[in-house]
Amino acid sequence: MDNIDKVFSTPLDEVGDFNFDDKVAEVFPDMIRRSVPGYESIIKYLGVFSRLFVKSDTNVYDLGSSLGAASMSMRRSISAADVKIIAVDNSASMVERSQKIFAAYESPTPVNIIHCNIEDVEITNASMVVLNFTLQFIDKDSRAALLKKIADGLNPGGLLVLSEKIHFANPVTQKLIDDMHLDFKRENGYSELEISQKREALQDILIPETFDEHRERLLSVGFRSADIWYQQYNFASMVAIK
Ligand code: GEK
């Protein structure tokens, strides 16, 4: 049973920037499931993508891996031999917890968990890379360089799965979908106080872009295709193939 997210349930004198600290890591599976529509489906289908794209003797990267849900799903599905999964996160709390989780399971596919900034990690000989709701936390001006590094490190035909909260250029659509997402959070038991305090904490650190902005940038850094394969409200998952 997951620990219940109560991080923003009491009034805070001052709502600081959102932080992936121990309080968040402890309740993370519950928090992301109740906040991100489609999260569990995307995790499941990452396994399907890995079965299709991961080749023997290559590396798979899970960038911004949190507690390792994406790596776990891929590891269960990969049948290719001599594959190494490299999971990277810059939150010490997430890394410590995910190391314990992976130590509890045995698998022929090793998962190497690295505590560092995804902008500093080297990407080589990759057949699949996952950025599952992580790029949105990277400074907007640094996103192209990170995506170019990923494109350069992928082998031809390799896959990037990029899941993001997205923004709609049309304000009417943006308001409609944003309201629907707020209702999704209410239905999942979040109070108005929790919703508004979390929104304030995230407003300067989670910067969504439109699908057109994502697509254009993915094509400009070396991917030959970039499309949405899954979307619920303003949460979309894209596939970009090198
Ligand atoms: C999942 N992918 O369960 N370098 C490394 N890690 C970072 C950086 C950075 N620069 N910035 C943020 N993170 C996961 C969910 S959560 C999404 C990803 C969310 C990490 C951060 O510490 C956190 O663990 C993760 O990216 C984002 O499939 O909470 O909305």
Return the domain boundaries, the chain: 39-167+206-241
Nearest alpha carbon, ligand 1 atom 26: 64
Q: What percent of the chain has pLDDT over 90?
A: 76
pLDDT at position 113, please?
97
* 45 Cβ below 6 A of ligand 1: no
* 137 Cβ below 6 A of ligand 1: yes
Q: How confident is the model at residue 40 (pLDDT cuts 50, 70, 90)?
A: very high
Nearest alpha carbon, ligand 1 atom 17: 133
Residue 81 alpha carbon to ligand 1 centre in Å: 28
Average model confidence (pLDDT) across the chain: 92
Q: How confident is the model at residue 15 (pLDDT cuts 50, 70, 90)?
A: low
Structure-token match 């109740």, residue found:
34
pLDDT at 74 over 90: yes
pLDDT at position 62, please?
98
CB 6 within 8 A of CB 198: no
Nearest-5° Cα angle at 119, 224 to 63: 70
Quick: pLDDT tens for 78-119: 999 999 999 999 999 999 999 999 999 888 999 999 999 999
Residue 55 alpha carbon to ligand 1 centre in Å: 25
User: What residues are paired with 61 via a beta bridge?
Assistant: 86, 129
Superfamily of domain 39-167+206-241: Vaccinia Virus protein VP39 (3.40.50.150)
pLDDT at 56 over 90: yes
Residue 214 alpha carbon to ligand 1 centre in Å: 18
User: What residues are paired with 180 via a beta bridge?
Assistant: none
Backbone angles phi, psi at 201, to 5 degrees: -65, -30
Q: What is the mean pLDDT of residues 158-184?
A: 97
pLDDT at 180 over 90: yes
Residue 163 alpha carbon to ligand 1 centre in Å: 11
pLDDT at position 26, please?
81
pLDDT at position 191, please?
65
pLDDT at position 27, please?
80
Kindly report the pTM of this predicted structure. 0.95
Residue with the bigger pLDDT between 203 and 9: it is 203
* 134 Cβ below 6 A of ligand 1: yes
Q: For the chain, give the longest Cα–Cα distance.
A: 53
Pair type for strands 111-115 and 84-89: parallel
Q: What is the mean pLDDT of residues 231-242?
A: 98
Residue with the bigger pLDDT between 203 and 17: it is 203
pLDDT at 31 over 90: no
Atom of ligand 1 nearest to the CA of 68: 3
Atom of ligand 1 nearest to the CA of 28: 29
pLDDT at position 11, please?
67
* 33 Cβ below 6 A of ligand 1: no
- 100 by DSSP, 3-state: which? helix
Atom of ligand 1 nearest to the CA of 165: 30
